[in-house]
Chain A
């Protein structure tokens, strides 16, 4: 089946550790996105990429890093510089047209202990 997979579903991290969240899509989409969602809030854009080996900062990129070495993959690293990393992280992909819908993965819930 075509879609987006994120792993792991739940992740626990100690303060001061970096952690990488996986996102893979087999929809042949050019664009991929990472969002953060806090309880009761909407989604906030962390990073997005429209082409391999290129990505752009979103509204809240500080403390996060990404790579786009393959069209199918867009991993997100939450670094120790992110002061409040506990949140629900969502990956999405889409075509490049302004009418194109975004397809979302199931999300990763990160908790910092």
Chain B
């Protein structure tokens, strides 16, 4: 079955710097890759996603890139702000199958 690894487990950046979180997946059949942000005590919220027929997607300060050959995808956050501090989860899914989540990355944006 699918296995998703995520690095780093914790990440601290200065406000205004960029943050990058990387995930790798094992099943080449996976074709949908969402990213969720979970603030303390709250539910995970979908922030961006990418499908396997697209290499990159951008939404304001966040972007996701996908390398199908290498089976890895990354979340990029530019001009980080304190409100970006949260735990971020990546996931991989083949249509109709379950989401397989990475273990999460705790991002801290230092003022």
Query: Do A and B assemble together?
Result: no
